[in-house]
Structure 1
Amino acid sequence: MSTGDLQMTQPSPVSDGNMEALIASRRSVAELKRDITRLRRGTYAGFSALACALTLLVSLVVITIHTWGERDMLLANWLGLPVVAVLAIAGGLIVDNYSSVAVTDEANIVKRLSISDLRFDLEVAEEQRLSIAASSALPVHERRYAYRDAIPAEVERLRTEGLRYRRWHNGFQWLLILCSAAITAVAALYDPPQPGKGLLIGLGATVSVITSAMGYYKFRERSFNLQQTADSIAQHLSALDLSIAPYGDVDEAQNLMRFAETVELLRDEQRKREQQLDQPHQAQQGTV
């Protein structure tokens, strides 16, 4: 292959205009993701408040019916109904406020976009970003440098996600412990168990739901896999920075290539472990 052919096969240098367009496209993608996350969290908070209001209302009604003529529930109802009203009003306002976001278009017209609209805009912005990035291809060694610089953020993402799963696991575990202890306490307190029968049924159902959810989502296993992958990538990153084995070569380009191959292999193993956790228990036994 001639020198002219080699020059033609190399990527063209990135112009300032393409770089600015790429930065603007990435900023647009980040803003859309932030808006989607904010709306989703607000919607979850609103529906959680509504669910709490409904649960409290049903609980007051059921307890009042079961204790009719035995206990005076007037004070509990007078205290509980305002709480139900506050939760219902707050939940409705939160859902209404976070159902859409106000956006000003190029014609300075303010319009409200829902989560589905933002997701569609995000897909369009991602396509535009990929198109601009494809037209602004960097040389191989510069892409590898950029890949190495992006690895600390990837390690932080894996650790943050693993920490979130560990918090879910610990929260459910403590809730399971408290519910199990409450079952014993209620059974010992109410003898005969007729006044506390509803509490026992509710606590038993809660224990069953928590156990099923922990077995289905496997929070502890997901947290362990994410933390293990993050530690392995961080170890290879430190080895690359210190030029120790397996990155002790003098040629930095070879070290970067070997590092990229290793990190991609670790990420692929992590994806396979996640897919295995998503499979049913019978399918996991068949793949072992």
Structure 2
Amino acid sequence: MAARMREAPFPTKRSPADWGGCRAVERSMDDDARSRLDRASRRLLFDTRNEVRTAEAQLTRRLGIDRAVRIAVTVGITVLLTGVCGTVLTWESSRFIKGDIICGTVAALCVATIVFITDGALKSRGELKADLEESRESLRRLSAHEHPPLSERRLLYREDTAGIIEQYQADSRKYRRVHNSLQSLIMIGSAATTTIAALETGKELTWQSIALTGISFAITLAAAFTGYYKYRERSYFLQQTADAIEEEANAVALGVGPYSEFGTDQQQEALKLFTQRVEDLRNEQRRRQQQLDQPADQAAPSGQPPAA
């Protein structure tokens, strides 16, 4: 037995025939289990991000549908009440028949609009919010297991800041628009109250008195808007910033001023300095804009424009 074992040693390399005719498949050295798991994890993370975007889009659409339904319901109820009140008040004379027809037509259009926009609509707002929260939670958990390099995390953060800036700017514009609308209503109402009080003096109205009252109303309104919105200051600071940026652009193009030290082979350094100086000018303009939006008793813009 020992002699036979020495004569027939165990084969160190087996041919395809020894494996039952199965040929071994060559695999890349990079195609290991770790790389496959990383690719699968990245793919799952990408799909989850798409699910979050889809859920956000569906929720936005649902909110738009709900807003349109509320507007249609409000308009429909308003015209129905108008039609009912008009009919009751003119029941004997029947002079509101044309108004009833108009109110009924508008109400029917409102009902048709509600049926059209809710036909085959999405899920309810609560269900869509729940789906969105679930998708965001899944994305957060998957992102917690990902460990990209620091450079990639910084790039991702830079891309995320674009959405944050856009959201902040949209909210700022919305609140500024509401505030300016209310402030304009206050100024117009104050000027109109003074004008109406001037007309109710018991004197006979002539074209001279009406013209004088109208001119006074216009002057009061113009003074109020000019004092509140500060159009001259805004124009002055914007033109000043534009002139400064134009000066920087001409200097970097001609290689003069602070850019005279850079040669033809140092264009990147010159552009770096140009970008920094222009960003400083833009930041200064933003600070001036914020100071102009504040009340006069809190802060005054630096570098007031010269008196006209």
Q: Scaled by the length of structure 1, what TM-score is found? A: 0.48
Structure of greater relative contact order (alpha carbons < 8 Å, 6+ residues apart): 1
TM-score (norm 2): 0.45
